[in-house]
Structure 1
Amino acid sequence: MQWLGPDEWQAVALSIKVSFWATLLAMPIALLVAVALARWQFHGKALLNGLVHLPLILPPVVTGYVLLIVFSGPSPIGAALKSAGIVLAFRWTGAALAAAIMGFPLMVRAMRLSLEAVDPKLEQAAATLGASRIWVFLTITLPLILPGVLAAAVLGFAKAMGEFGATITFVSNIPGQTRTLPSAIYAFLQVPGGENSALRLVIVSVVIAMAALLLSEWLARRVADRVRGATC
């Protein structure tokens, strides 16, 4: 990374930080929602499914504007969070929240497809032996869907790395605070002579995305081999 300038490196480091926390924040909630959509029957299931996928349908700027209204200082939620010392608007934490919301539908879908591929009879057999639902999930279901969980994590991380519209609307484009890779590329393209910096950041984005995909493929294969070995 020595060929990157200080401002460029700052954008890369902030993007990785935001993407990591966005993925970590969204993963457990996405897993719970995926289980609910794949395994549970309840009133409002179609509505929940629609709400989950809403960020994919809405323009990202709309999502960012809604976040700004809900979590800015004047709103009741924003005021309550501020009194607790939590500020999201125009902070990197807000960028992580926006990225988590935008990547959430992709994460839910990846894990839901993995859950639907698991034969429910395996879970039922474990339940008949006296295992609780939580124990069945932890010992039977979760190991079988680990490749899907890893795929969801990679999708969420990649989406967070590339998120622009919702982020710039919610937290703006403040150097050193909220200027992530996409925002930095956009900013460099707006000034004369900034094309080289933008190109370097584009290359870094491609390298990070490919590294994440290759790592996920390797981990998924390792997990799948272990699961096959355990079930044989």
Structure 2
Amino acid sequence: MTEYLAPAGRRAKLNKTLVRWHWISAAVSLIGMLLFSITGITLNHASQIGSDTRVHTHELVLPEAVLQPLRAAAQQKSTELPVTARRWLEQRIDIAVRNDQAEWSENELYLSMPRPGGDAWISIDLHSGELLAEHSDRGWLAYFNDLHKGRHTGAAWRWFIDLFAIACLVFCLTGLWLLALQAQRRVSTWPLVALGLVVPALIALLLIH
């Protein structure tokens, strides 16, 4: 038999459910909100903070045993590096070869591997075997700033940002409901909510050129 709840009881149950979702979404998104809030400030003042970029360059000559599979892959226009070449590169230079989108020209292989907080690339002359590689590191601040922007972060981090945004949306909507419950007892509730809308709107309309 279905339990009957009076309107007041249903409202109390709904409020209890919303409060539960409010604190759950707050707990889930707390660390993410701290991260994105701090990096929002560092991004806004990136020119004042600055960063020291460290660049490492490598010049090597590939052995014939590594070059042969690369030449074969070049003829097939394969987007993936041969396993032997990949292992050799990772052993000789301090670059994790995780991006297999190889770009082939007539006598050259170019591999671009951008990442949060830095960049890396490898160029190999398939005729002579000469290799030129470079990787740069702009520091931890640039790393977290790039995480904020989702720059070169891969699919897993993009999924995290989407799920984090949903948790923040739940947090805000349930918070709005709780504000509505308190509005009758706190007359400043809606003026403060309106202030949060009016201030950025006026800045955008009047002060952003």
**Alignment TM class, shorter chain as reference:** under 0.3
- Structure ranking higher in helix proportion: 1
More relative contact order in 1 or in 2 (CA 8 Å, sep 6+)? 1
- Which structure has the larger Rg over C-alpha atoms? 2
TM-score by length of 2: 0.27
TM-score, with length taken from structure 1: 0.25
